Amino acid sequence: MSFEVIVVGEGIAGLATARDCARAGLRTGTVEQMMFGGLVTSINELIDWPAGEGGPCSGSDLAASWITEAADAGVESLGGCATGLDASAGGLLLRTDAGTHEARCVVIATGASRRPLGIPGEADYVDRGLSHCADCDGPLVKGADVVVVGGGDSALQEAAVLAHYARTVHVVHRGTTFRARPSVHAAFEQAFAGRGEALRIHWQSTLASIEGTDGIDAVTVAGPSGTSRLPVRAVYPCVGLVPNSGWTGLATAADGAIETDARLAASLPGTYAVGAVRAGYGGRLVDAVADAVLAARSVKESLQC
């Protein structure tokens, strides 16, 4: 079956784009390699998101409500992992591990993956103390000491969640100030208010190693005055995201984010990019929604020409 538009990725940016395209009367499909929802599904309390009266305020509730809206609008969920994109006589060919699809336009909404710390043995501790979801496993570290690595939005958001469970949250940050948005910073400070002893910030520091037998027993932190060993039970790496763009062959910025013009069109005619995979993305869910509105309008206009 040939589609007018296929959206690759069922994160918030992809779901919103697909829903808006279908509501505009376009035959729309989506391709998703895993579960719908993307990054947002690990967040229990959304910041900077206008949930509204009775609206979803956790990431998984938001994703669940939007996959329903997309389906109700007529979006067809095709499944599969996208592996390549080519121009064809009829428009574009999207290759996936589950087959090839034809569409006149393709919107890339494949988001971004967590950047690894890049220290020896890191992979051995995944799900054995090394976690990317404080909301999921915070209760498991109740009363223990833990480390969050990073100084941006995600790091402070994870630390704020852990403040409810851990005895001490060590935040290891290579900079001298945090980069988080004011709203995220305020939530972080609120979480530790009156519990100053529960927070230790290691400025100008990096995580040098993780050690442990069954799980994590300790980490080594390298800072301005040398290295120190911290006994901890868990490590939460929040050192940035890597755009999932490699499979597209589209023009990207140095960090791998897809370059787009003011209409969110990418380098191959008929392709567009929205959300965390594109260069210049604002970083918040409201920005993903704004991208979706613009991309759906651009796709519709291009198909009417």
Ligand X SMILES: Cc1cc2nc3c(=O)[nH]c(=O)nc-3n(C[C@H](O)[C@H](O)[C@H](O)COP(=O)(O)OP(=O)(O)OC[C@H]3O[C@@H](n4cnc5c(N)ncnc54)[C@H](O)[C@@H]3O)c2cc1C
Residues forming the site for ligand X (CB under 6 A): 8-14, 31-34, 38-40, 43, 46-49, 81-82, 109-112, 154, 157, 244, 247, 275-276, 283-285, 288
Which of residues 221 and 288 has its CB atom nearest to ligand X in the complex?
Answer: 288
Report the amino acid identity of residue 257: A
Helix intervals (H) in 85-147? 134-137
Is-contact 199 171, C-beta < 8 A? yes
Which residue in 257, 264, 290 sits closest to 48, CA to CA? 290
* Helix (H), strand (E) counts: the chain: 6, 16
Q: C-beta of 55: minimal distance to ligand X in Å? A: 14
Choose between 28 and 154: whose C-beta lies nearer to ligand X: 154
Least distance in angstroms from the C-beta of 244 to ligand X: 4
Cβ closer to ligand X: 216 or 239?
239
Q: Which of 26, 49, 279, 20 is nearest to 153 (CA)?
A: 49
User: Measuring CA to CA, which residue among 43, 37, 289 is closest to residue 187?
Assistant: 43
Output 135 or 212, the one with its CB closest to ligand X: 135
CB of 13 or CB of 105, closer to ligand X: 13
Shortest Å, Cβ 284 to ligand X: 3
Tokens at 297, concatenated: 């309008």
Smaller CB separation from ligand X, 35 or 121: 35
Shortest distance, position 66 Cβ to ligand X, whole Å: 10
CA gap 230, 251 in Å, rounded = 43
In the complex, least distance from residue 35 CB atom to ligand X, rounded to whole angstroms: 7
SS3 of 286, please? helix
Instruction: Say how many C-beta atoms besides its own lie within 10 A of residue 27's C-beta.
Output: 17
- Determine the length of the chain: 305
Minimal distance, residue 134 CB to ligand X, in Å: 8
